[in-house]
Structure 1
Amino acid sequence: MLLGLGLGPGNPELLTIRAVRLLKEADAVFVPGRIAADLVAPYRTPVMLDFPMTDDEHRIRECLESNAEKIAPVALKGLAVFGILGDPNFFSTFSRLCEIITAHHPVIEFRTEPGISSITAFAAAANIPVAGGFEVTDGSKSSSLIRLKARHPKKIIANLKEEGYRDFILVERMFFPDMKVYRGDEIPEKSDYMSVLYARR
């Protein structure tokens, strides 16, 4: 098992309780840089991996391939944790790493554990409320949308289809004991107030 673990925005006090537990339980913890290593160090001695900050796609691919082969032996036998700043599903290298490992070691399973992302941390750092809709982008064209409080998901989906969205996932009561994840045709007419709908073009 390879677990992508969010380490938060960089302050050690913003590590989640679950993150600390998983760092202690892992067979090995891998990190992509010094800041992540410093966050992990009080709980484990991490394995530092080389992820160069470059636009050279060939160099990036070489490093991903090399790092995948360092992680795979641990993930094949036990729990390998890849600790990354922010959240592993938001603008991170974790998904690319998983693609490469899957190509060479398809039996390895993956999952992620959330960390405080820069998106939510920014609002706290800047001391500003975010109450309306907003767009998050790395400069590329937006291809997905997240709708909070999706109490009538089928109705929302019907409107989004007119805007070109095609893939939909609804998460109801996330990380509560009764959490439910619905995809495509499984999505119900009505949902809990604590529901989030994801749509992709």
Structure 2
Amino acid sequence: MLVGLGLGPGNPELLTLRAVRILKEADTVFVPGRIAADLVAPYRDCVVLDFPMTDDEGRIRECLERNAARIAPVAKDGLAVFGILGDPNFFSTFSRLCGIIAEHYPGIECSTEPGISSITAFAAAAGVPLGGGFIVSDGGDPSALIRLKARHPREIIAGLRAEGYREFILVERMFFPDMRVYRGDEIPEKSDYMSVLYARR
């Protein structure tokens, strides 16, 4: 298995307890650079992989394939952890790496463990409360929406369909023992206050 592990925004005190445990349990920890390596160092050794900062898609692809080939032998029979700054699901290299793994090593399962993202870290550093809805983009047109406190998800989905959204996922009570993940037609009429609805066009 390959786990993408969020290491937070760079301050070692902002690693989660869960992240520390997973680092210690891993057979091998891989990281994309020195900052991540320094965050991991108090808990275990790691392998630093080369991920160049470039817009050259050919070079990026070659780099991803080379790194996937190093990770795959560990992930095939054990626990490989890829520790990255921020959160592995939020504008991260990890999703692209998983795509390469699925293409070349289809038997390897990929999963993620959250870290403090740049958005929540920014809010704390800047003293800016984030509420009332906001748009996050890396320069591209937003194609997805996240709705918090989705207590009547079917009703919300009906409105979003009219706006062109087609893919829906509801997570209820995430990371509690009774967490539920619903997709598409299995999404219920009502859900817990602690529910998050994801929609993609």
Structure 2 gaps, min length 5: none
Q: Deviations over 1:74-116 (max 9, x none)?
A: 0011000000000000000101111111111111011100000
Alignment TM-score, normalising by the size of structure 2: 0.99
Task: Please list, as runs of the form range in 1=range in 2, the aligned pairs for 1:1-201 lying within 5 A after superposition.
Answer: 1-201=1-201
Aligned-residue Cα RMSD (Å) equals 0.5
Identity %: 82
Distance in 2 of aligned mates of 1:28 and 1:59: 25
- Residue identity opposite 2:178 in structure 1: D
Distance in 2 of aligned mates of 1:102 and 1:161: 30
Alignment TM-score, normalising by the size of structure 1: 0.99
1:189 aligns to what SS in structure 2? coil
1:70 aligns to what SS in structure 2? helix
1:190 aligns to what SS in structure 2? coil
Q: Deviations over 1:21-78 (max 9, x none)?
A: 0000100000001100000011111100000000111111110000000000000110
Aligned structure 1 segments of 4 or more residues deviating by more than 3 angstroms? none
Distance in 2 of aligned mates of 1:104 and 1:132: 43
Distance in 2 of aligned mates of 1:23 and 1:41: 10
Count of aligned positions: 201
Distance in 2 of aligned mates of 1:66 and 1:130: 39
How far the C-alpha of 1:129 sits from its partner, in A, is 1.0
Distance in 1 of aligned mates of 2:94 and 2:131: 30
Distance in 1 of aligned mates of 2:4 and 2:132: 30
